[in-house]
Amino acid sequence: MVSQLVSATLQGLGLDVIDLGLSTTPTVEIAVTAEKAGGGIILTASHNPVQWNALKLLNEKGEFISSADGAEVLRIAEAESFDFAPVDKLGKYSLNNSYLQKHINLILKHKLVNVKLSKKQNSRLLLMR
């Protein structure tokens, strides 16, 4: 429900949404830069108590936004100083659940990951030198 609400709100503001589906925070960080997105939002239940579950906001570099940027987001929301897009300028929605595998592939290609040793030892975890 929260995912649909966030996506529809962003589309209503005229922003395109790429939904990564169930993912990890580092995977979303990678996807933001790979997609050349203006930012990212991670809906999280994480390990926190229910009252602390929320949205993690990322900038265009796939990094968590600064406290100043966070304060600006809150100011805009509280002042309702935003406009919804006209119906012919609504954002598009797409689902791309390929990023978990893309992230795994990037890890496997990393110079510090020894895939051969991991396979040789029949390990389920990747070993790093």
- Which residues participate in catalysis according to the annotation? 46
Radius of gyration of the chain (CA): 18
Structure tokens at 104: 């795994």
Asked if residue 57 lies in contact with residue 39, where contact means CB atoms within 8 angstroms, the answer is yes
CA-based torsion, 82, 26, 65, 44: positive or negative: positive
Residue carrying the six token digits 């940027």: 69
Q: How far is CA 46 from the centre of its chain?
A: 14
Burial of residue 40, with CB atoms counted within 10 A of its CB: 0-12 exposed, 13-18 middle, 19 or more buried:
buried
